[in-house]
Chains A and B, each alone.
Chain A
Amino acid sequence: MIKRALYLTLFLLPLLMGFVGDSPTRWKMILEKQTGFLEGKEFSTRGITGKGIRIAVIDAGFKGTDTHPGLAHIFANHRIAGTWDFVRNQEDVFTGNQHGTSVLSCIAGIWDGLPCGLAPDATFLLARTEVSGEPFKEEVNWVKAVEWAIKNGADIIQSSIGYTYHRYFQEELTGRYSISAQAAIKAARAGVLLVNSAGNEGSSRWQTVDTPADADSILSVGAIDPQSGIAAGFSSKGPTADGRMKPNVCAPGTVCAFTSNGKSKVMGGTSFAAPLISGFAACLMQLMPHASAQDILHAIEQSGHLYPYYDYSHGFGVPQASHFFQSLQKPLQSEKCQLVIDPQDQSFQVTTEGPCQKTEKSEWSKYIYYHISDSSGMLRMYGVKEFIPLIRNNISRAAFQKGDLLRVYINGHTAEWKEK
């Protein structure tokens, strides 16, 4: 009897864990966090929903977009300004892959009364450029789609597409070499804000951002794990081959997104972090109608929860909507709070003194972020570890060389140390 009960438990345990893993509770938690991390409610409660902003979404296909109940409000309000399939040279894009449907839901989807993105009232241009098999022509299609978006008045181009080892070597990703990066720069010069996913190569041999995420003057978006609040392992890292910081910012990379069969599913990838930032950018453009695309880009960077700290996994962190509303702005760093960096032979010991301000998100308050940069500002090493208040937190100085700078960030406070 006991033997049977134990065998049954051992057999059911993985099934039970799987059930708990996809439970409605976890699903709702993810859905709330995907906009909660960006403080999306600060926009929506003020009626800022991306209205009047035109977002071009370039993707592998939009199968199910036209029939999904969570996106019905877009069609009901006639907010699809145009569509084009660059693979088959026709208007119908509601075919092919469902990836575009999932991405679009992270900008404008509404599920169970809850928003999946930040810009449900934006207007959209939809372009399909990708097919399976990675033919070289895909990148040409992408360039054509960018030109089409500019011609059709896009304010923002949202692209969760990237090209890596099938076409380029890592040292070629200088932000100017690939044809997609050149097109991205052209879009930036035309006054359009391009938001691109950083890539999911963080755990593979490639590791670094793909192209066109390497382009200058565009927003490259990395992914954080909404459970831990720090960079997801799969999120591609910077810097670019010419040493520029990428990604620029990050957003939740595990989200509830729509599928082609009218349902919603938990999905992961920088593909879904980028549209959250596109929605954020659309809200900012509505809030600041006279700001240029580059002004919006810099504003988003400055609203990152780590700013002015940065690293090559988080960029400046997750943009915070409260940054743009004076009444909500956090008090300046308290003069009484001090981060003390005490250099030792093998490590730096970091402690806090005084009443250091805590962030509202418990996921971030438990970490110490640190990096060592050389004299040109390029990082040699960076990391995140759990922070324990009131004790000495050790950071290895193995990578530290003469002339380098150590920068540390804890709970909204930044401190630096340089050898005199």
Chain B
Amino acid sequence: MERKIIKGFILMMAVIAGCSFPAGLQGQAFERTVVPSAVLSNRGPNRLHFSHVYLGASLIPPAPMNGTGTSDTGLSSAFTGGFRYKIKLMRPLALVGEVGLVSQGYRIKPGSSFLPGDTVSFRKQTVLVAGIDGGIFLRLRLGQRGNYLGNYIDIGLQGMMPLLSSQITVSQNTGSGTPTHSSEKRTFHRLNCMQPYSFSTLARIGFNRTALVISWRLSGLTDGSTSYDLPRLQIGVETALVSY
């Protein structure tokens, strides 16, 4: 074992030395081809075309069933990430399209049963929905100066196609009617109650790379066979992975 460590160390030092060896040969310090400004690209954060990757995280506040009464869900969360493309229409308007992946996790409160006929009392239950989402938005950029994202407002529509859905339940084992320390985990995949797609309206306020996002789902996530639909409001933050 010690021999292996010694060999590994010697190999590592040899690699480090080998990487520095070419510095001793006739090296190119740098070479640069000059690009005249007349042929500058039309791609850039405030130019005709721009695209970037984004990441986001949201909170899904609990909402009462049918708008009244106590909620059956706890504070839930969602994560999203994808690719966004913007084309400038005219100052200060642009059209933005995006496509990405979304993952939502809804916490179900103990005592509520989400799936029809599910009467198991549980300690913890989560409904996970993951899929592809995409949207189209109209962007109003505030201020015209500079070649950066700047401050902007996006308003538009978003669609989501669930590809995976699961209900994960952690229930406490009871022996002779009294709770024990052990627990049982049950998972149902490919929930039949999920709609094939859903639509949301979304508004985003951006401050350069960071944006606050609020969305409201217009259609149900489930087909009505469940005890209740899942909350529709999401509030979150996004970050654009852009280097200047």
Interface residues of A (CB under 8 A from B): 2-3, 6, 9-10, 136, 165-171, 204-206, 228, 230-231, 233, 237, 239, 241-243, 312-313, 367, 378-388, 393, 396, 399
Contacts and interface: CB of A to CB of B under 8 A. Distances in A.
A378 B34 contact: yes
Contacts of A167: 145-146
Interface string B15-29: 000000000001111
B147 A388 contact: no
Interface stretch (B1-9, B60-68, B172-180, B221-229): B1-9
5 contacts: A3-B5, A167-B146, A170-B37, A380-B34, A381-B32
* Best-buried of A169, A171, A237 by chain B (most CB within 10 Å): A169
Given A136-B145, A170-B40, A385 B243 contact: no
Given A237-B32, A381-B32, 18 more contacts: A2-B2, A165-B146, A166-B145, A169-B146, A169-B147, A170-B40, A171-B37, A204-B244, A231-B30, A242-B37, A312-B34, A313-B30, A381-B33, A383-B32, A384-B28, A384-B31, A385-B26, A396-B31
A86 B167 CA distance: 61
B116 interface: no
A318 to B, nearest CB: 16
A382 B31 contact: yes
A380 B32 CA distance: 9
B232 to A, nearest CB: 36
B244 A165 contact: yes
Nearest to B150: A166
B152 interface: no
A204 B242 CA distance: 11
B33 A384 contact: no
Contacts of B117: none
A134 to B, nearest CB: 9
Contacts of A388: 26
Contacts of B32: 237, 312-313, 381-383
B199 interface: no
A383 B146 contact: no
B34 A383 contact: no
Contact of B34 (A2, A165, A241, A381): A381
Contacts of B45: 165
Contacts of A206: 244
B79 interface: no
Interface in B200-244: 243-244
B6 A384 contact: no
B33 A380 contact: yes
Contacts of A242: 37
B29 A386 contact: yes
Nearest to A206: B244
B30 to A, nearest CB: 6
B29 A228 contact: yes
Contact of A386 (B5, B26, B146): B26
Nearest to A381: B33
B145 A2 contact: no
Interface in B38-90: 38, 40, 44-47
A382 B9 contact: no
Contact of B29 (A2, A169, A380, A385): A385
B9 A10 contact: yes
A139 B5 CA distance: 59
Interface string B144-184: 01111000000000000000000000000000000000000
Nearest to A379: B34
A393 B26 contact: yes
A10 B16 CA distance: 13
A417 to B, nearest CB: 18
Nearest to A166: B146
B2 A3 contact: yes
Contacts of B244: 165, 204-206
A373 to B, nearest CB: 10
B21 to A, nearest CB: 14
B243 A205 contact: yes
